[in-house]
Amino acid sequence: MISGNVDSKIGYYENTDTTTSPSFVQQTSDNNLFADISPDVHVNPLLIDLDNDGIISLISGNNNGTIIEIKQEMT
| CB hemisphere CA count around 44 (13 angstroms) | 7
Check residue 59 and give its pLDDT: 87
Q: What type of residue sits at position 70?
A: I
* Phi/psi of residue 48, nearest 5 degrees: -155, 150
Check residue 2 and give its pLDDT: 84
Check residue 74 and give its pLDDT: 63
Q: What type of residue sits at position 37?
A: I
Using 50 as the pLDDT threshold, list the residues of the chain that sit under it. none
Check residue 39 and give its pLDDT: 63
User: What global pTM score does this model have?
Assistant: 0.64
